[in-house]
Amino acid sequence: MDEVFRAMNDPSRRLLLDALYERDGQTLGELCAHLPEMTRYGVMNHLRILEAAELVVTYKQGRQKFHYLNPVPIKLVHDRWISRYAEPRVGAITDIKARLESGEPKMDKPVHVYKSFIRGSVEDVWDAIVNPEKTVKYFYGTEVESDWEVGSAMNYTYPDGTVASEGHIISIDAPKRLEFMFHAKWDEELAAEGPAREVWALTEISGMVELKIELYEIGPKTLQDFSEGLPYIVSGLKSLVETGEALPSPN
């Protein structure tokens, strides 16, 4: 958290975060336009500090590097202090609208990227993702259902049997990577936008697990809904793996 506070203690870096909040996935050249009086090297240095604090996540495609706002560290700061005095207003971490079923080609560049570090093993984090007894504790009270094979259904349901989402597995490499379609059913507007494509990738780094979630071709309503709710899901998963306790349920 010290790195987060240091990174945000600069108006130029806050401006860069605001720019990514307004439009995610910008290149260095595009971000330089927001600080016209600063050299390209100066902007690069600010971005390195934001990346070190995990407030910005990058995605390389060829010779280009795209920058994404990562709200998870800010959410963790919120959980540590603010949520003690107010009900957490959180939301859903990612959703990617990949219209593969309609025949549209997949986008190579994600619409948004989330990243968090979790103290534990890759196997522990993977189990929290695929175990229905654990998803019900952080995934808004829903249990995941799948046999975890390529092409198999992957649904989230409430304990009363109501379906929250439907989808299927595109590719799986347990316990490192899961790519799947996710079609929200709890809201008519979200359902109308169609299914989204998500990639959850796990990497072991220095005794911790880097969890990266990429969203592709996502509709505006779905992106807004997931941007508000996914930080809660990721933070809840992190809390469950590290402490065995889930976060309080948001209203």
Distance in angstroms (rounded) separating the CA atoms of residues 4 and 131: 32
The number of helix segments (H) and strand segments (E) in the chain equals: 9, 10
Going along the chain from its start, the domains and CATH numbers come out as 1-69 (1.10.10.10), 71-251 (3.30.530.20)
Q: Kindly report the pTM of this predicted structure.
A: 0.61
Q: Per residue in 232-246, is it b (16+ CB within 10 Å) or e — as a string? A: bbbbbbbbbbeeeee
Q: Which two tokens stand for residue 128?
A: 């929290």
Burial of 57 (0-12, 13-18, 19+ CB in 10 A): buried
Q: Which residues pair with 113 in a beta bridge?
A: 214
pLDDT at residue 219, as a whole number: 83
Prior bond of 159 cis (ω within 30°): no
Q: pLDDT tens digits, the chain, 251 residues: what are they?
A: 778 888 888 889 999 999 998 899 999 999 999 999 999 999 999 999 999 998 999 988 888 899 999 888 877 776 666 544 343 333 323 333 333 344 444 446 888 888 899 999 999 999 999 999 999 999 999 999 999 998 899 999 999 999 999 999 999 999 999 999 999 999 888 888 888 999 999 999 988 999 999 998 788 888 888 888 888 999 999 999 999 998 887 75
